[in-house]
Amino acid sequence: MPQQKPVIVLVRPQLGENIGKAARAMLNFGLTEMRLVTPRDGWPNPSAGPAAAGADVVLNGAEVFSSLADAVSDCGNVYATTVRKRGVTKPVVTPEEAASEVHTASGRSAYVFGPERSGLETEDVALARAILTVPINPEFGSLNLAQAVILCAYEWSKQTELSQPTIEDLLPPAPQEDLEGLIGHLERLLEAKNYFWPEPRAETNRLTLRNLLTKPAWNHLEVRTFRGILSSLERDRRER
pLDDT in tens, 190-203: 888 888 888 888 88
Give the residue, 81 or 168, on which the prediction is more confident: 81
* Mean pLDDT value of segment 14-33: 96
**Assigned fold of 7-163:** Alpha/beta knot (3.40.1280)
**What integer pLDDT is reported at residue 1 of this predicted model?**
42
CATH no. for 169-239: 1.10.8
Question: How many residues comprise the chain?
Answer: 240
Q: Can you give the residue ranges of every domain in the chain?
A: 7-163, 169-239
pLDDT above 90 as % of the chain? 55
**φ/ψ of residue 99, rounded to 5:** -60, -40
Q: What is the pLDDT of residues 63-112, one digit of tens each?
A: 999 999 999 999 999 999 987 655 678 899 999 999 999 999 888 999 99
Query: What predicted TM-score, i.e. pTM, was given to this entire model?
Result: 0.69
